[in-house]
Amino acid sequence: MRTSATRFDGGGRRRWPRFFLDLDWFVESNGCSAMGRGLELTVRGAKLPITCSSPFTDEVVLHVSLPSRERLFKARCTAAHAEGRGWVLTFVEVSPDDLQLLGHTLIGEFGVLALPERPSRPRRRQQEHVISES
């Protein structure tokens, strides 16, 4: 099991960690397509291991062969090329059924690690109450 827990800009931790799954996928954009095996997924997006630039536009459609599913998972996404690290896809439109199946798949494979991190809140300083004697 491998997770990616850092942001693309190198700062802090991401709320939704990506998990590597050895699944078949293909992506299409602007009349071009690419396919492969293995990608990093979260319920918010994916990272494809395509390190070279390509003719993808900002809008792509990702298809993934999830386990125990006859039909392919499908998500409309925005895409950004992370130099030397692959294509980062952010889901824009996913059917509720596909999103639920993706969530079940991630939790089934990785357990509670697939759940988002709770946002950290600054600790409140406890005020000392001073009782004056009269």
Residue range 25-42, pLDDT digits in tens: 999 988 888 899 999 998
This prediction has a pTM of 0.72
Sketch the domain layout of the chain as residue ranges. 24-34+44-112
More confident residue, 44 or 7: 44
Q: Which residues of 56-84 are buried (b: 16+ CB within 10 A; e: fewer)?
A: beeebbbbbebeeeeeebebebebebeee
Element (DSSP H or E) covering residue 88: strand 86-94
Is residue 29 within 8 A of residue 60, CB to CB? The reply is yes
Q: Mean pLDDT over all residues of the chain?
A: 77
Q: What is the pLDDT of residue 20?
A: 92
Which residue has tokens 């709320």? Answer: 15
Residue-wise pLDDT for 91-115, tens only, equals: 999 999 999 999 888 888 888 777 7
